[in-house]
Amino acid sequence: MVTFPFPLLPPPPPNRALTQSYISSWMMPPIEVLTRYGLLPLYFGHIQIIGLENLPRNGSLILAPTHRSRWDSLIVPYAAGRHRTGRHIRFMVSQDEVRGIQGWFIQRLGGFPIDPKQPTIASLRHGVNLLHNGEILVIFPEGNIYRQSLVKPLRQGLARLAIQSEMTKPGLGLQIVPIGLTYSDPVPRWRSRVRVNIGQPLNVADYVHTSNPYALKESAKQLTAHLHSVLQSLVPSTSIVP
């Protein structure tokens, strides 16, 4: 979703306060209950979750789902949120999504904005800080919503952010968890069915072999290509969910 040029950003200052996103202690609990036990089960006919054994319960994680609907931002926490891992998840979202009343909620529920065309150093560093602190960060690598089942070319921002996070904190053990989301209808409607297919995590350290900026660009390309291949294997060739 985000892109930034190599060489990588300098390491973030130690003990920097995380001021760009937070979880509202009074807002999150009732919303979690409402969506998990009310809104989603009532609206959708069936939500199938495959591969829960692939979801790490600890350590820094990037969840990398396909992006098929605005419902994705509720489906991902439903399938891989706090009730599964014991931790809240954070979202990297485009600036357009944090405007108005929607933005007011997003910024209090762990979301923080970024301009995908011209990301600021502060936003990128905030993402790195979250991962250095062992958080779970959701990034939709396709960038936009696509209704087709075919996985679109991925933006390299996720891979670059992941590599920077691992490089600037050796031994972080950052993992990327690919998630294939499929709806029975291109535009989800009342009683549509949903399939959430969680793939095996990718170890970012496997793609970090050098600090050479040119080699790192190639590593980001390789990681992006591998992630694309895995995501495509997690969704059916058609958008039909049985």
| pLDDT (0 to 100) of residue 106 | 85
| pLDDT (0 to 100) of residue 183 | 97
User: In the chain, what are the domains?
Assistant: 28-233 (3.40.1130.10)
| pLDDT (0 to 100) of residue 15 | 43
Helix (H, G, I), strand (E, B) or coil at 55: coil
| pLDDT (0 to 100) of residue 76 | 97
| pLDDT (0 to 100) of residue 241 | 61
Block means of pLDDT (10 residues each) for the chain, length 242 residues? 45 45 92 95 98 97 96 96 94 81 84 80 89 97 91 95 94 98 96 98 93 82 98 82 59
Distances (CA, A) of 19 to 110, 121, 138, 151: 11, 14, 18, 34
| pLDDT (0 to 100) of residue 195 | 97
| pLDDT (0 to 100) of residue 44 | 98
| pLDDT (0 to 100) of residue 101 | 81
221-241 core/surface letters (b: 16 or more CB in 10 A; e: else):
eebbebbbebbeebbeeebeb
| pLDDT (0 to 100) of residue 7 | 46
